Amino acid sequence: MDQFDHAFQLAEDYCQWLREPSRTEREEARRLLALLLDLYRAAMELDLPDEADVDIDADRPKLDELRALSKAKALPFGYYGVTFDPHIVTPEESTVGDLYDDVEDIYGDLSEAISLRNAGHLVEAHWELCFSFRTHWGRHAASAIHALHCWFANNHEW
């Protein structure tokens, strides 16, 4: 399996996770953390294609809001503190991160790329996965990874 196929399999796994019945808080948190770590690493390894028709629209599956909310409520927390730009040495005021928003936004970007791939637009799917990682869902994933790591560390839940 090449890097492209591997990244898309992980994206499919993430979207499938949202459709699965919820388990315990700890199990859901561990599964989400593992999925995000794998996805982040796989997306980081992909090169952005030079050319893609970015105006192609594919039918993106709708996220079942009730299912996603149920899955998010199965996680051990919803809100967490976050600093938008950690490169500012004098820390800016922190804002509130939302794990549900992270889960939902990552799903939206991944499902867009998956839809393009399923419609046979492979270059565009590759571009969408890479570009949205670099500009949007990668930040959501990184914030969620940090928040989940801190929860596990603070609660000795490893």
From residue 155, give the alpha-carbon distance in Å to each of 12, 17, 103. 30, 24, 22
CA dist., res. 135 & res. 112, Å (int):
14
Tens-binned pLDDT, residue by residue, of the chain (158 aa): 799 999 999 999 999 999 898 899 999 999 999 999 999 999 999 998 877 555 666 666 666 666 777 788 899 999 999 876 777 777 667 889 999 999 999 999 999 999 999 999 999 999 999 999 999 999 999 999 999 999 999 987 77
Query: Which residue's entry shows tokens 């839809």?
Result: 115
Domains of the chain: 3-155 (1.20.120.1550)
